[in-house]
Amino acid sequence: MEAARKDIQFLLNDRLIVIDFQEHPGLKPTTTVLNFLRTLPGFKGVKEGCAEGDCGACTVVVAEPDHGKLVYRTLDSCLVFLPQIHGKQLITVEHLSQGDQLHPVQQAMVDHNGSQCGYCTPGVVMSLFGLFKNTVNPDRDTIHDALTGNLCRCTGYRPIAGAAVSSCHGDTADKFSEREAETLRTLGEINRDKHMIELRGSSQLYLKPLTLADALECRKSFPEAVLVSGSTDVALRQTKKHEHLPEIIDLGGIEELTSLAESESEFYIGSGVTLEKLRLFSEKRLPPFYKMLSVFGSLQIRNLATLGGNAASASPIGDTLPLLFAYRASVELISVSGTRRIGIGEFITGYRSTALSTHELIAGFILPKPSAGTLISCYKVSKRKNLDISTVSACFRLERKDGIIDDVILAYGGMAASTARAFKTESFLKGKPWSQPRVEEAMQVLAGEFTPLSDARANAAYRKAVACNLLLKFFTETENSEL
């Protein structure tokens, strides 16, 4: 590795910010964008409501270059470490107006009486600004999705949705559009330097490689370092558990990990692909992924979280894992010694544990295309439809020949210490007709296959009942499908 740089650079609106953490003892590499902004005079619009990505009061917008233009993404600043915005533009509610002239989304909030107490309003405005920059004439579902990550207890969402309709109608040019070329030049100058970033401060070592080769060398040299892809999970270890993270390798700036490709026989999803990018890619190509990701967290979360991060967490309720099981995904692991592929079932080895060795990184996921007529469907049961953790999740795959079950995968989350297939139930179903009597018999087998825990979300009996009922639901949705 060549000599590393010792600082990060980003634009705060149109002002270049350079931070060397050794020269700023009040900051550390894992200082969140939220806490950084709150230290600055005149930047109190961003609020801490929950510090875990649930309320949206800390929403900011980050703009970054993408194929010669700026792409704007809403993020929960409480989950973003400062080095993650290196080479990007950070925009807060304080930057939207021009003198006394409000930005169109701000004016729409005034015109539609979209604010009462005002605590959540800056975050709501920034979500509307992100919508404004990305969508012209958004439909109702798009508006609701953009606002799902913003909680407002006193105003109600109807006037806020009205503000979205009126402000995102027609011309969406603003002062940021006028300055886009200049902003792209400045960010381009920052991002041309591909030297690894090595940050030290407050007993922390934060490494941000910008090439895959440097990332692999970092992984080899610091095998115990915490890997960060989107940080939506790791950040909580600091903000909620107050855990000190002595060594971190941030993989978020590595372009080689963000590939998203389709061939005649398979899909390839890089580990650094954000869940929102995957959601949009999946709408026509991988409909079950689109369905599940549409109720995954919020737009702010999906703009930051990655498929690699979600899979590597090996959470028993990780929403993407049952899908990867049902698609018979393989995981591509890479190190300085080479590359290997293993099945997702081998990759997940237990509760929050994987087969990833201390010198490897996840390069991506390979999903073979299902044969014609294969039925795949996913389900998520939670107390709320949006922005909630799964109580039980499932993804099922069915292949039949002449009405007889030739192959079946029943993958569940929330039923065991890790995502698990119902192998006994699958074995019972194979070779039998796809009929209600056989499915009801299979439900009895399934009821005894798992021993789930009781916790704050549900008791064990409820989980068992839900798991069985989801299988019956899958049957009722597919019994008349022609294969």
| pLDDT tens, position by position, 289-329 | 999 999 999 999 999 999 999 999 999 999 999 999 999 99
Q: Are strands 8-12 and 375-381 parallel, antiparallel or unpaired?
A: unpaired
- Return the pLDDT at 2: 67
| CATH code 3.10.20.30 for 8-94+178-250 | yes
CA–CA gap between residue 338 and residue 327 (Å, rounded): 25
pLDDT tens-digit series, residues 47-61: 999 999 999 999 999
Whether the Cβ atoms of residue 228 and residue 236 lie closer than 8 Å to each other: no
Q: What mean pLDDT comes out for the span 454-482?
A: 93
Closest by CA to 236, choosing from 433, 402, 389, is 389
- For residue 438, the SS3 value is helix
- How many alpha carbons fall within 13 Å on the CB side of residue 306? 27
- Return the pLDDT at 483: 47
Average pLDDT for the chain: 95
Burial class (CB in 10 A: 0-12, 13-18, 19+), 383: exposed
User: Residue ranges of the alpha helices (H) in 104-179?
Assistant: 104-111, 121-134, 140-147, 158-167, 175-178
Closest by CA to 83, choosing from 30, 24, 34, is 30
pLDDT tens-digit series, residues 193-238: 999 999 998 789 999 999 999 999 999 999 999 999 999 999 999 9
Confidence of residue 172 (pLDDT cuts 50, 70, 90): confident
Q: What mean pLDDT comes out for the span 465-482?
A: 92
Confidence of residue 156 (pLDDT cuts 50, 70, 90): confident
Phi, then psi, of 21 in degrees rounded to 5: -65, -25
pLDDT tens-digit series, residues 383-437: 998 889 999 999 999 999 998 999 999 999 999 999 999 999 999 999 999 999 9
Superfamily of domain 104-173: [2Fe-2S]-binding domain (1.10.150.120)
Interhelix angle 140-147/121-134, rounded to 10 degrees, is: 140
CA–CA gap between residue 208 and residue 10 (Å, rounded): 14
- Return the pLDDT at 153: 87
pLDDT tens-digit series, residues 333-370: 999 999 999 999 999 999 999 999 999 999 999 999 99
Whether the Cβ atoms of residue 196 and residue 250 lie closer than 8 Å to each other: no
Q: What is the CATH number of domain 255-478?
A: 3.30.465.10
Whether the Cβ atoms of residue 433 and residue 418 lie closer than 8 Å to each other: no
Residue 235, strand partner residues: none
Vertex 293: Cα angle to 290 and 299 (nearest 5) = 120
Whether the Cβ atoms of residue 471 and residue 381 lie closer than 8 Å to each other: no
Q: What mean pLDDT comes out for the span 23-41?
A: 94
CA–CA gap between residue 446 and residue 440 (Å, rounded): 10
Task: Output the CA–CA distances (angstroms, integers) from residue 467 to 421, 443, 473, in the order listed.
Answer: 12, 9, 10
Scored b (16 or more CB within 10 A) or e, 9-35 reads bbbbbeeebebebeeeeebbbbbbbbb
- The structure tokens listed for 208 are 């941000």
Whether the Cβ atoms of residue 349 and residue 443 lie closer than 8 Å to each other: no
Answer yes or no: pTM beyond 0.85.
yes
Phi, then psi, of 156 in degrees rounded to 5: 85, 155
Whether the Cβ atoms of residue 211 and residue 195 lie closer than 8 Å to each other: no
Query: Which residues in the chain are classed under CATH 3.10.20.30?
Result: 8-94+178-250
Q: Is the dihedral of CA 30, 33, 34, 37 positive or negative?
A: positive
Query: Which residues in the chain are classed under CATH 3.30.465.10?
Result: 255-478
Query: Which residues in the chain are classed under CATH 1.10.150.120?
Result: 104-173
- The structure tokens listed for 169 are 């109608």
- The structure tokens listed for 196 are 């690894």
Write out the DSSP string of 228-290: ESS-TTHHHHHHTT-----EEEE-TT-GGGG-EEE-SSEEEEETT-BHHHHHHHHHHH-HHHH
CA–CA gap between residue 406 and residue 433 (Å, rounded): 9
Give the percent of the chain with pLDDT over 70: 99
CA–CA gap between residue 248 and residue 194 (Å, rounded): 18
pLDDT tens-digit series, residues 70-117: 999 999 999 999 999 999 999 999 999 998 999 999 999 999 999 999
Closest by CA to 361, choosing from 166, 452, 225, is 225
Vertex 313: Cα angle to 312 and 316 (nearest 5) = 120
Q: What mean pLDDT comes out for the span 435-441?
A: 97
